Structure 1
Amino acid sequence: MRLLIVEDELKTATFLKRGLTENGFVVDTAHNGEDGLHLVLTGTYDLVILDVGLPERSGWSVVTEIRQHGKGLPVLFLTARDTVTDRIKGLELGADDYLVKPFSFAELLVRVRTILRRGPLRNEDTLQIADLTIDLNRHRAFRSGTRLDLAPKEFSLLSLLARRAGEVLTRTVIADQLWDMNFDSGTNVVDVAIRRLRTKVDDPFPQKLIHTIRGVGYVLEEH
């Protein structure tokens, strides 16, 4: 599989390329946003590892252009931007995952392989699962034509589940992506958030879409 690393820190780019090459990937690199975007639009890649703070064009801008051109290839943000707002912005712009520097290469490798097993991102502006419709651009969600009154965090949680529909997301993954926290098994923040989301997305409707996989996590899918 062919990967593209868009990273302006030469030491980091070299480290990543060597490690990924040793694990069987073919790797290209670019060191600014314009070159990275050009390679994506003219080449064929299975995944892009993208920094946010790039010269010439930011990672935000690059992923936006990728999606606007209809490219569904997976994007993994690898960046020092570690706030919850940054993570949510990256996911809402169309990234598959978001890993904060400093990072463990072993974790990066696991995330890359997990993303590649999933296949291309569902990159439509609108996601449809059963009678649930999610308008990612306008931050609106509907069931059977009825608009759901979702708080911003609830919409982000629903969008995360919908983008990865059919995949069981662990509490750790959800907490990492939306709350910028290391999940503690004694903390019920994810369960509380799912419960509140269900009261709006599932409870008023006969078909339930958010399912609990006991001991693992949650999945959005139609049974």
Structure 2
Amino acid sequence: MNQILIAEDEPRIAAFIAKGLLKNGYTVEVASTGAEALQKLQADRFDLLLLDLGLPDKNGWAVLDELQQSHCSLPVIIVSAQVLPPEPSIQTYQTIKAYLSKPFRFSELIETVQTHLV
């Protein structure tokens, strides 16, 4: 069973995503801050990270920077209302597999998750 970490600071959005992923057979954990996400990633093994860029304390970019510095190859799907920077900037983060803009359809999220957990 695939284990997914959801890094999302909005409790309603995190609960919505977690509930849907659980119904689709995934194991899920939620982190509400960037620091908590990094701590969970060090303590446990995950197959995918759903990452909001607007996290408190350490934003999503800081989380990506730390993952890259630790040579972590965990696939990341950005789920955020923030606009991504131009393509050359994103290419430095090889672990970013997809970007979903909030608001999104849950079916789109599931399809994206399934694509990157093959």
Does TM-score exceed 0.5, indicating one fold?
A: yes
Which residue of the partner structure matches residue 8 of structure 2?
A: 7
User: Counterparts of 1:45-84 in structure 2 under 5 Å?
Assistant: 45-83=46-84
- In structure 2, what is the Cα distance between the partners aligned to 1:86 and 1:15? 29
Which residue of the partner structure matches residue 33 of structure 2?
A: 32
- In structure 2, what is the Cα distance between the partners aligned to 1:96 and 1:55? 23
Q: 1:46 to 1:82 in 2, by over 3 A?
A: same
Larger Rg: 1
Q: How many residues align?
A: 116
Give 3-state SS (helix, strand or coil) of 1:93's partner.
coil
Query: Is the 1:90–1:98 contact (alpha carbons within 8 Å) kept by the matching residues of 2?
Result: no
Query: Is the 1:50–1:78 contact (alpha carbons within 8 Å) kept by the matching residues of 2?
Result: yes
* Alignment pair present for 1:115 and 2:110: no
- In structure 1, what is the Cα distance between the partners aligned to 2:83 and 2:54? 12
Give 3-state SS (helix, strand or coil) of 1:96's partner.
strand
How far has the Cα of 1:14 moved from its partner? 0.2
Q: CA RMSD in A?
A: 1.5
- In structure 1, what is the Cα distance between the partners aligned to 2:101 and 2:93? 17
Give 3-state SS (helix, strand or coil) of 1:102's partner.
coil
- Name the TM-score, length of structure 1 as normaliser: 0.50
Question: Which amino acid counterpart does residue 92 of structure 1 have in structure 2?
Answer: T
Give 3-state SS (helix, strand or coil) of 2:100's partner.
strand
- In structure 1, what is the Cα distance between the partners aligned to 2:53 and 2:17? 16
Q: 1:70 to 1:63 in 2, by over 3 A?
A: same
How far has the Cα of 1:89 moved from its partner? 3.7
Q: 1:42 to 1:90 in 2, by over 3 A?
A: farther
Unmatched runs of 5 consecutive residues or more in structure 2: none
Which residue of the partner structure matches residue 19 of structure 1?
A: 20
